[in-house]
Chains A and B, each alone.
Chain A
């Protein structure tokens, strides 16, 4: 086998092994969206009427509306989790091991990104499975069609995690990431409410939501789940992934970026 693929398999395999060893992480990744779906949505459905908007063709319940947003939420939390584990790796030294491999650094980081995205996607499907048990279902083929969108979203948010991990010096600073990245990204998006609702209350917030790449991950997944294609969302996600990837490579460039601040 080609040397690059040997490394790819080992890095992805290590991510899976770590994932299996951290059952709490899997459970919390699963419980978090379920709490939103089964508790938050139940309380909120009365307050928030969702009219018919694309890609939906009938009235839908609020629970159904937020499923794609919660899928994206899993991708978001996992992306941040992997960035946390990268910072941890750096403090623990296993990052050194990775970066002193003779393979190019971009390839090593890309392998890492693929591994963490694959795990995110698996978790999304576990969540969709449980949602289906509660009768919140999508069209059958929608589950298949959503796969590339989920994976791409996972890559985008994982790349964001890489960028953040190159900026964060210590594990302790991670709480800041929660406050300044995860929450704004999630709430300033179409995950929990359609954007026209946001426009009714504030034009400015609406504009921010429309620019938020996370919104586009949500919409890409939402459309794919209903076997429709949202080109602008796809382009947004692709473009943002490319930008984050470039920033991550810059952050991990040995001549500047993270290592220079303090190895």
Chain B
């Protein structure tokens, strides 16, 4: 496949402990895919492998058609990431944080300011561009990170439990915004353990004990149950 995210037969172990076991899935462009899994299911390991913080000896990952193992630079250039951990420099302004990231992605300075303005206003953050990140609340910090992840025009967006620690309003706004991004053609993989962030029209992957338990359209999978009840019934873990 050419666009989107494609994972084939990915396994990984920490010593004797098998964290991922023959995981395969694909997310096409323009789709919002929720990766749901209880704690310890292997979500973090999968995210580390997708971002090449870890490399697996088996399996293959393609990001927008680029093989992450063979040409990591090209693949990573097409990937936008919002990590679970905050990764902003608190003492720098919003704009400085974005400029630092832009440099890491080799974006030239010419035209950079306009680009930063564009992603910030897309997330209603334009008027805060000169504020220090330390003075921002959690919701605005997350929005800054989302803006940053879009700065290099990625084709695949990976968000690792992006709403952890946010209040309800900020959560809803980020969830809605990222769904919009998928509607505009971006391929989105969103990991979470919160079922209310998943819409019926979303793709759903359930990761359990290192294996993909279920994959398909969320609304069809849950049937008459609420997603939370369905999830608990198959994994035995509350969602």
Contacts and interface: CB of A to CB of B under 8 A. Distances in A.
Given A10-B99, A17-B91, A254-B55, A96 B83 contact: yes
A260 B53 CA distance: 9
Interface residues of B, number: 37
A97 interface: yes
B51 interface: yes
A1 to B, nearest CB: 7
Contacts of A6: 103, 106-109
Interface string B19-54: 000000000000000000000000010001001111
A202 interface: no
A74 B126 CA distance: 42
A4 interface: yes
B136 to A, nearest CB: 16
A206 B99 CA distance: 51
Nearest to B92: A17
B72 interface: yes
A104 interface: yes
A68 to B, nearest CB: 34
Q: Which of the four size classes fits the interface of chain A?
A: 20 to 34
A97 B81 CA distance: 9
A65 to B, nearest CB: 40
Nearest to A10: B103
A94 B89 CA distance: 8
A173 B24 CA distance: 38
A263 B44 CA distance: 8
Contacts of A108: 104
A118 interface: no
Contacts of A93: 83, 85-87
Contacts of B92: 14, 17
A21 B52 CA distance: 31
B62 to A, nearest CB: 15
A3 B53 contact: no
A206 to B, nearest CB: 42
B59 to A, nearest CB: 13
Given A18-B91, A96-B85, A102-B76, 13 more contacts: A6-B107, A10-B102, A10-B103, A14-B92, A94-B89, A96-B51, A96-B53, A96-B81, A96-B83, A100-B53, A102-B75, A259-B54, A263-B44
Interface of B: 14, 44, 48, 51-55, 57, 72-77, 79, 81, 83, 85-89, 91-92, 96, 99-109
Q: Kindly list the 6 A-B residue pairs having the minimum CB-CB distance in the complex, ordered from nearest.
A: A3-B106, A10-B103, A93-B85, A101-B104, A93-B87, A102-B77
